[in-house]
Chain A
Amino acid sequence: MTAIRAWRIGLIALGLAFFVVGGITLLNDVNPARYLGIAIWFVGALVIHDGIISFVVFGANIVMRKTGGRLRIPLPALLIVQGALVVAGIMTLIVVPAALKKSIGTANPTLLPLDYGLHLLVFYGVLAGVTALALAVYGLLRRARRPTA
């Protein structure tokens, strides 16, 4: 038996053992009436991520590369803009629920005490500024590297 095969068997056995513990915990500690709710979350997670978010990202990427190609925008410049959009997107996913929950109401004022909507707007602004700066720096570097261009 090769080392890889031994590791494989060991890891799969370990994984199955963890499944057993997780399954028993679920059976013991969670009312079966709630299993449907968990299943809905699982399916929802796959549909929202694989079915929606991934394709939006894919579509945005294609459109940007096409536009970039047409306007002769160099790849690094395109990546800087794409990076800014990705960072903004992930931060939005994390912060918007906080802002929503705060607007619905919290158990006490020390929970979600910040102005999340405003902070997110400021974050977008700073990110746009940093992105513009990065593009400018890249443009200067590019010109310096190819003075004849």
Chain B
Amino acid sequence: MYILAVHRLLNGLRRSLAMPSRNPRMAVVIGRLLAIAFLLCFGTGIYSHFLQDPLPWMVFPTRPVSLYQVSQGVHITAGILCFPLLFAKLYIVFPELFQTPPVRSFPHFLERASIALFVASSIVQIVIGLLNTYQWYALFPFPFRQTHYALSFVIIGSLAIHIAIKLDVIAKHWRKGAPIEPLVIDGPVDPTVPSAPGTLTSSPGRNAVIRAEGVTGRLFDWIDKTPPAEPRTSRRGFLTIVGIASAAVVALTAGQSFKLFDGVNAFGARKQGIGPNGLPINRTAAAAKVEAVASDPDWVLTVLNGTETKTFTRAQLLAMQQYTVELPISCVEGWSQMASWKGVRLGDLVDSVGASGGTAIKATSLEQNSSYAIMHMGPEYVRDDLTLVALELNGEVLDLDHGYPARMIAPGRPGVLQTKWLSSLEVLS
């Protein structure tokens, strides 16, 4: 009896949720776009991960200089785009949540469990990603970076399995033209078929009609009398709405990463040009607790190569050959901005202590107790002519919050590796 009631309830829900836009072709169309967005996020995320934690053999490209700016900008923007796309996809397949019987077999149980995992991890992933760009860490009862990284594998794994399970549907509806039938409803209910009230038959569907009484029955009855939507208009309307929502969220936030959209940046977590030296910051000198040591007039930059050691005051650094480069600050949080940096070539500094050829370095910040206080840099960056120990930013003395007295700036690296408040540079053998 209870089983029958649940079956009736689920079937009623599925029938009520049926809409022309909820069909397999639409699921494939939106699913494809969502899969592309997920893969873009995954690829750019993996790139960012290995830039920060490289495997020993890894060498990274330094051109174009905006490589990381673009890759991480795409990461965050595609992540925001996932909001309308994921909602659209879940909207299309929502009736599937109420399929009955809920579990038909063990494989069916695995399929439903994998979808629950896929949906939950996708929602969690994009929400924590967005909240991380707002630096709202207090909401996370877990470490963001590690969790976000682990979940990315769960999501892409779930995506592969989901595609495998739905392969026949995807193949059938990949191109336009296959007959579009609404999502299948088990035990079809035909309300026009008359039946004796109160008599249960062997047909669950018929019983659903017979027992169309009580609160749920009346509710479904009320819903059933809703005027049906014309399929073609309804489908086109749905796609148009998804398109407009996607365009709106991208256009109004992408300005934090792409200058092209700066003029319409109404909702980005950062705004170009806002900050000391006209550039946003992530970690202030106060937050890093370096205000005193970084302002100390006796500050020197120590450069080491084995037993060879040299120290440079800021005046001595300024007396060396100065170079001006245009390089972006590109944060792992996705915001970025182009800036003009002036300072000493890192290559000249390591040469001054007798380093030769391709060489890796370890840079140490005045900052203590930060996972980024010590930074490793491979030879591809050390020997790049654009890599500077910067002393000036946008034509002004480097602000304390931007790493005064001296900071690293290299092409194609995330902001957390552009070490501020430099203390020492050590050539690694």
Which residues of chain A have a CB within 8 Å of any CB of chain B?
4, 7-12, 14-19, 21-23, 25-26, 29-31, 34, 36-38, 40-43, 45-46, 49-50, 54, 57-58, 61-62, 65-66, 68-69, 75-76, 79, 82-83, 86-87, 90-91, 93-95, 97-98, 101, 104, 106-114, 116, 119-120, 122-123
Contacts and interface: CB of A to CB of B under 8 A. Distances in A.
Given A18-B153, A111-B135, A113-B270, 6 more contacts: A38-B142, A54-B91, A62-B226, A83-B237, A119-B266, A119-B267
A93 B86 CA distance: 13
B50 interface: no
A97 B130 contact: yes
B121 interface: yes
Interface of B: 16-17, 19, 80, 83-84, 87, 90-91, 94, 97, 116, 119-121, 123-124, 127-128, 130-131, 134-136, 140-143, 146-147, 149-154, 156-161, 163-165, 167-168, 171, 223, 226-227, 229-230, 233-234, 237, 240-241, 244-245, 248-249, 252-253, 265-271, 274-275, 280-284, 287, 401
B150 A4 contact: no
Contacts of A82: 237, 241
B253 A94 contact: yes
A120 B266 CA distance: 8
A8 B171 CA distance: 12
B421 to A, nearest CB: 15
13 contacts: A15-B158, A18-B157, A34-B143, A38-B142, A46-B120, A76-B233, A83-B241, A87-B244, A87-B248, A107-B284, A110-B281, A111-B280, A114-B266
Contacts of B233: 75-76, 79
A37 B142 contact: yes
A50 to B, nearest CB: 6
Contacts of A46: 116, 119-120, 123
Given A21-B153, A49-B123, A69-B227, A4 B171 contact: yes
B401 to A, nearest CB: 7
Nearest to A65: B226
Contacts of A16: 157, 161
Contact of B141 (A34, A43, A93): A34
Which secondary structure dominates chain A's binding surface?
helix
Given A19-B154, A45-B123, A107-B287, A34 B134 contact: no
Contact of B227 (A7, A65, A94): A65
Contact of A112 (B134, B143, B249, B287): B134
A90 B136 contact: no
Nearest to B228: A65
Contacts of B168: 4
Contacts of B237: 75-76, 79, 82-83
B227 A29 contact: no
B270 A29 contact: no
A12 B262 CA distance: 42
B271 to A, nearest CB: 5
A11 B163 contact: yes
Contacts of A31: 143
